[in-house]
Amino acid sequence: MSGVLAAGATVLALLTSALVPQAAASDPPDGPPTERVRADLARVNGSGCPQGTVAVAVAPDNSGFNLFYSSHTARVGLGSAPVDFRKNCQVALDFRVPDGWTIAVQWPAEHHGYAYLEEGASATLKTALRYEGQEPGPAFTHEFSGPYDELLFVREGDARETPPYRALCPEDGTVRLVVDSRLRVLAGTSDPETTSSFIGLDATSWPVGSLYDLSWSRCPGE
């Protein structure tokens, strides 16, 4: 774990170079605003994201954003504490949008990381979005079974079947989006006394993290 935490500074240094947003499925006629949009970490809670281990970057053209984690890993077996099999992270992002604009999350989204699961072990990744003060957006569950030893590449949602998740027009120019992610790994029939298994959304092993596309629309009266 010390190596993962030490790599947090590396993640922050890679924010700009690692930001590779997907092409949005369909953009509104107005397109993204030309004014550079900022996203701030308003709140970070959870066992999977200690202070200083999460970062966010918005694409230069405002077409999406990346979340980076450097300690969001669940593990079981050798070297693990009893509580390590489950990790959660809730990140509240404040998007400072130009006057008269609002955002929508477009699908699909992507998550990157790494998983090592012994034969008989299993893991789960759950994700969900919500704008504060609105109904929750889509939630997704992804299951993995051992043996498994490779980089994670998880795509969720479908541009044709999953509607964009749109924020209400903000009154103060700030849209707060809350991103939830939960990791769990179970030993199953593997032997936790002699083996270990883990799953992580760890941008230090593949500096990409979680990617979300954004589309933009004008608010009524603008």
Digit-coded pLDDT (tens) for 66-97? 999 999 999 999 999 999 999 999 999 999 99
C-alpha triplet 191, 192, 196: angle, nearest 5°: 110
Nearest to 206 by CA among 11, 48, 12: 11
Q: Which residues on neighbouring strands pair with residue 166, listed in sequence order?
A: 104
Mean of all residue pLDDT scores within the chain? 87
For the chain, give the percent of residues with pLDDT over 70. 84
CA separation for the pair 204, 207 (Å, rounded): 5
* DSSP symbols for 78-105: TT--GGGGEEEEEEEEEEEPPTTEEEEE
* Confidence (pLDDT) at 11: 41
- Biggest alpha carbon–alpha carbon distance for the chain: 64
Query: How many residues in total does the chain contain?
Result: 222
What distances in angstroms separate CA 92 from CA 98, 142, 146, one per listed residue? 19, 22, 33
Provide the whole-model pTM: 0.85
Banded model confidence at residue 3, pLDDT cuts 50, 70, 90: very low
Gap between the Cα atoms of 119 and 19, Å rounded: 34
φ and ψ at residue 57, rounded to 5 degrees: -145, 135
